[in-house]
Structures are given as structure tokens and as C-alpha cells.
Amino acid sequence: MEPMSAYAAKRRPVSEINVVPYIDVMLVLLIIFMVTAPMLVQTVPVDLPDVDAKPTEIDPDDNTLIIAVDQQGQYYIEREEDEPQAMSLAKVQDYAGKVVAQTPDTRVMVRGDDRVPYGRVVALMGALQAVEINNIGLVTEAPDPQAN
């Protein structure tokens, strides 16, 4: 019986966790996030005005329609497209009116460039109010505390 106990001592289960597969998975996930993160940024280049205001939390599951006004005063509806196309004010008004009529709890947010004429943003807000969209938010950036 002695040879059996010596054999059993050599075949004892190893109680260590092999972490190499976990490291491989983490590296793959890191690479995936590094590649996809730049794609999650807004596609219309807008230099938002700096305002010291309380931030509004936007849940990704919320129905939020973001309308951007770029430096040239062109209107864009930001959707999950590769490249948003400039739209006329009438088309933006029509599209937003249909979206809010279909999903009444949709939040409308306006991203206006810091250098866009004030009248372009006001015209957009007036057009949205004409189709019964009264809850309109303005997107800004927090001021950089080191800029002072």
C-alpha cells in the first residue's frame, strides 16, 4: 500500500488560480475600448460656450434628440450616423416634431457653437416651439478652472 500513498502525494490537486486567461481577456477588452472610444464622441464639431451651471445627467436609455448648430449656422440632427448632414430649419422642425409626437417623453437638447450668431439658435428654438416642443435644453461646457 505504500506505493499507492506516494503516488497519491504526487497527484495532489493544485490550489492555485491560473490568471493568464483573465489577463488575455482584459487586454483584448482594453484594445476594443481604446478603438471604440473615439467613435463615441459627437460628430459635429461644435465649440460649446463655457458656463458655470449645474450639470444635467443624461441617461443613455433616455429618449434624447440632440440638435447641433455649427459655427456656420448650419443645423444637424445627431443620430447614430457616421456623418450627419446639414439640414434646413424646416427639415429639423419637421423631424423633431415627428419624433416628439411619436415619443412624447423625448428630451430635445441644443448644442450651439460659441461663435454662431445668437439669432440662429433662437430661430431653432422658435421653430421647435412652433411644433409644440417646449422643453428644450441647451448644452454647454463647464469652464476650465485653470484658464483664469
Long-range Cβ contact pairs of 102-107 (< 8 A, separation 24 or more): 103/63, 105/63, 106/63, 106/64, 106/65, 107/58, 107/62, 107/63, 107/64, 107/65, 107/135, 107/137
pLDDT band at 27 (very low <50, low <70, confident <90, very high): very high
pLDDT in tens, 88-138: 999 999 999 998 889 888 888 888 888 888 888 888 989 998 998 888 888
Rounded Cα distance between 74 and 115, Å, is 12
Given a cut of 60, is residue 81 above it in pLDDT?
yes
Per-residue confidence (pLDDT) for residue 19, from 0 to 100: 84
> Can you tell me the distance from the alpha carbon of 40 to that of 37, in angstroms, rounded to the nearest whole number?
5
Confidence of residue 29 (pLDDT cuts 50, 70, 90): very high
Model confidence at 64: pLDDT above 90? no
Q: Where are the domains of the chain?
A: 2-39, 64-147
Using the predicted structure, report yes or no on whether residue 15 has a pLDDT greater than 80.
no
| CA–CA distance, 133 with 130 (Å, rounded to integer) | 7
Average pLDDT over residues 4-23: 73
Domain 64-147 class in CATH? alpha beta
Residue 38 has pLDDT above 80, yes or no: no
Answer yes or no: are the C-beta atoms of 70 and 116 closer than 8 Å: yes
CA–CA separation, 126 vs 122, rounded Å? 6
